[in-house]
Amino acid sequence: MRLKLIVAYDGSSFAGWQSQRGGGSIQDALEVAVQAVTGGPVRVHGSGRTDAGVHAVGQCCHIDVTNTRMTPDNWIHALNTKLPHQIRILSAESVDDGFHARFSATGKMYRYHVYCGAVLPPMEYQRAWLVREPMDLSRVKQAGSQFVGRHDFAGFSANRGGPVIDSHRTIRKLTVTTRGRSLYFSVVGDGFLYKMVRMIAGALVDCGRGVLEPEKIQAILDGTAKKSNQVAPAGGLTLVKVLYGPPSGHT
């Protein structure tokens, strides 16, 4: 039986999603929990990586299990009793063997949180990027609109250690919202390069505080201006949802 799992986690104390030789990743913790339930090793297949310190409220993964007597609700309870408190299975469902958490995905939704003020409230520690300078929201929105569409995002990505065959990606939607002193960037795209969302967030903040002109965004995308080097801290980033089905649907 193939189970599709929706996972939430506080990534502050983990080495990212992907399994590490020395352990310490979200995937490692999930595989330990699954093995504790099944009695044998089971590979956890994720929709993709999140970096160390990045959070999730809607990461998706799948596992193949032989125990078909347990219902999806049984699996949620059993796994959550074995997982550290920073990781929780939110939902589980039986899916067709043709479903793959990574290869069936048609997009992802991320949210970045910026806190504008002199002091970061303790409850926002490792949840938001503290920006003390005044932010011009109109400049942020002007810059954000230039990311929408299909572009070469080489100028907004970092080197993971190997060449990227194709650095073109499509951003379907980028919204900028505020709530009190909090500023949120929500980004929906068909895929993301290494640190791409964090570098987009860094550029938006630089535009808002007058360090970068909004018009420069298009020049960086075109390759006529030098690459952006502002990487927003990992703690402000959350994977909200992995999208499946038609590109226009958020399912």
Catalytic residues: 51
- Residue 192 carries which side chain, given as an amino acid letter? F
Phi, psi of 199 (to 5 degrees): -80, -30
The helix or strand, by DSSP H or E, that contains position 56, with its residue range, turns out to be strand 55-64
CA distance 212 to 203: 7
Residue reference for tokens 């505080």: 209
CB 167, CB 154: distance < 8 Å: yes
User: Of 204, 197, 213, 201, which Cα lies nearest the Cα of 157?
Assistant: 197
CA distance 98 to 44: 16
User: DSSP string spanning 189-211?
Assistant: ES---TTHHHHHHHHHHHHHTTS
- How far is C-alpha 36 from the geometric centre of its chain's CA atoms? 27
CB 217, CB 201: distance < 8 Å: no
CB 207, CB 143: distance < 8 Å: yes
95 DSSP β-pair partners? 2
Residue 132 three-state SS: coil
Phi, psi of 235 (to 5 degrees): -65, -20
